[in-house]
Amino acid sequence: MNDKRTWVVLGGTCVIGRAFAREAAKTGNDVILLGKDDDDLALSANDIRARYPNVEVTTLPLDTANLDSLTKMAEQCEAAAKNIISIFSALETVYTQKECGKDLGKIKNMFQINYFSQVYFLSAMASVLQKQACGEIIVLGSAAGEYGMPDNYAFGSTKAALHVWLQGFQTQMAQNHISVTTIKADDWDTVGTRRYSFWQKPINPQACAEACLYYARKGVKIRYFPWYVSLTVLFRRFLLTLNKPQKN
């Protein structure tokens, strides 16, 4: 990534989105922050401006409840960008299985934000990046999309759907020299019951942001973050096999 970018950050007010926006600005790139809360967006933008006064920061309201609006949002991002556009998405909402059982609307809400909103926006932005014939797309997935655990399988299913869609999208965009990187993070927000073992620690937002940029520069397709998450995935899949019902 030798040329200056304008990083479009979906979820610009969440902890990882903020960390990524700061990291992108640190390397001299402009930033467009997309989010639902105008006040939080302003705080995030002002924080970056104070740290990196030479970086241009734009904020745009994101309405995930109106999928049709995301096409217009893509047009606004294209109009606001002065450099090569790249995209980082940390868009996510999380409910435990217990919460979903009490309110089925929460399942719909998770699919709306975790899957449909990102698919609609990235699809709308695809032609913009294809015209550039370069750029990077980074999407935060989750290890929860790799297996179905009793306390968060509804959430995990939204991530699993997103992972599969990104695999096909990745192949499509590669034809125009655009890299698509999926980072499968270890429950970077709170999901159900934490299962940290002796080698695990709560995720470090700054380290995650740095890793995302590094993997995008390398054109990596899929990575787990932190590194030990791949071991966690294998371990949890093993646990699921132990929980299979016994045959009579």
- Given a contact cutoff of 8 angstroms between Cβ atoms, the answer to whether 182 and 139 are in contact is yes
pLDDT of amino acid 110: 96
- Whole-number Å distance between alpha carbons of 5 and 61: 21
User: What letter represents residue 192's amino acid?
Assistant: G
Residue 138 contacts residue 214 (beta carbons within 8 Å): no
Q: Enumerate domains of the chain plus CATH numbers.
A: 5-242 (3.40.50.720)
Q: Which of 26, 43, 11 is nearest to 140 (CA)?
A: 11
d(CA 33, CA 18): 9
- Give the pLDDT confidence of 122-176 residue by residue, as tens digits: 999 999 999 999 999 999 998 888 877 788 899 999 999 999 999 999 999 999 9
Residue 20's pLDDT is 97
Query: What's the pLDDT at 236?
Result: 62
Kindly list the distances between the CA atom of residue 168 and the CA atoms of 162, 164, 172, 211, in Å, as whole numbers in the listed order: 10, 7, 6, 23
CA-closest candidate to residue 60, choices 41, 78, 44: 41
pLDDT along the chain (248 residues), means of 10: 85 92 96 94 96 96 94 96 96 92 96 97 96 96 83 92 97 96 74 44 84 94 79 61 60
